[in-house]
């Protein structure tokens, strides 16, 4: 993975952590949002994003260059299935609030948009 992509991924994760912490501090203390589910959703997405980002660079790209694209796709499908199984287990085992979890889950999308806007503003100046 090239240095620029790695830095962008890490900046997105930093934005993600800041947004998640801000949401937790603002909404986590009230009764409308479950703070534990909010953090769980954010951590789940953050780990998934890091595994996907660095996993593509570390595992899938070398497999594709060797002509083993089917194995790479199979590993990606396995990762998705494992994460869906983990997500299902977390919901049924710990009875997390789905709205709070989704709010934490969504902070990564907002972090990606923030980083894209920051990057485009940096290019213009």
Please spell the DSSP secondary structure of the chain, one letter per residue. --HHHHHHHHHHHHHHHHHHHHHHHHHTTSSSS-HHHHHHHHHHHHHHHHHHHHHIIIIIHHHHHTT-HHHHHHHHHHHHHHHHHHHHHHHHHH---HHHHHHHHHHHHHHHHHHHHHHHHHHH-
Binned at pLDDT 50, 70 and 90, residue 125 comes out as low
How far apart CA 77 and CA 56 sit, in angstroms, is 12
- Neighbouring residues of 121: CB distance < 8 A, sequence distance ≥ 6: none
The per-residue pLDDT for 109 is 95
- Which of 85, 42, 80, 40 has the alpha carbon at shortest distance from 60? 80
Domain that holds residue 78: 3-124
Number of compact structural domains in the chain:
1
Binned at pLDDT 50, 70 and 90, residue 117 comes out as very high
Please tell me which of 17-26, 31-40, 47-56, 75-84 the model is most confident about, judged by mean pLDDT: 17-26
Residue 59 predicted with pLDDT over 80: no
The per-residue pLDDT for 13 is 94
Residue 66 predicted with pLDDT over 80: no
The per-residue pLDDT for 71 is 77
Express each pLDDT in 85-107 by its tens digit. 988 888 888 888 889 999 998 99
Q: What percent of the chain has pLDDT over 90?
A: 38
Predicted TM-score (pTM) of the model is 0.81
Using only C-alpha atoms, the chain has a radius of gyration, in whole angstroms, of 17
């Amino acid at each position: 993975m090239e240095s620029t992509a790695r830095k962008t991924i890490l900046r997105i994760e930093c934005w993600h952590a800041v947004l998640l912490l801000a949401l937790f501090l603002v909404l986590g203390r009230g009764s409308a949002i479950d703070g534990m589910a909010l953090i769980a959703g954010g951590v789940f997405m953050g780990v998934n994003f890091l595994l996907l980002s660095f996993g593509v660079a570390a595992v899938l790209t070398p497999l594709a260059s060797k002509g083993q694209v089917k194995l790479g796709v199979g590993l990606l499908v396995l990762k998705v299935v494992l994460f869906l199984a983990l997500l299902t287990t977390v919901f049924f085992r710990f009875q997390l609030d789905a709205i709070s979890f989704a709010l934490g889950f969504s902070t990564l999308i907002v972090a990606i948009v923030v980083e894209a806007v920051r990057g485009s503003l940096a290019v213009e100046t």
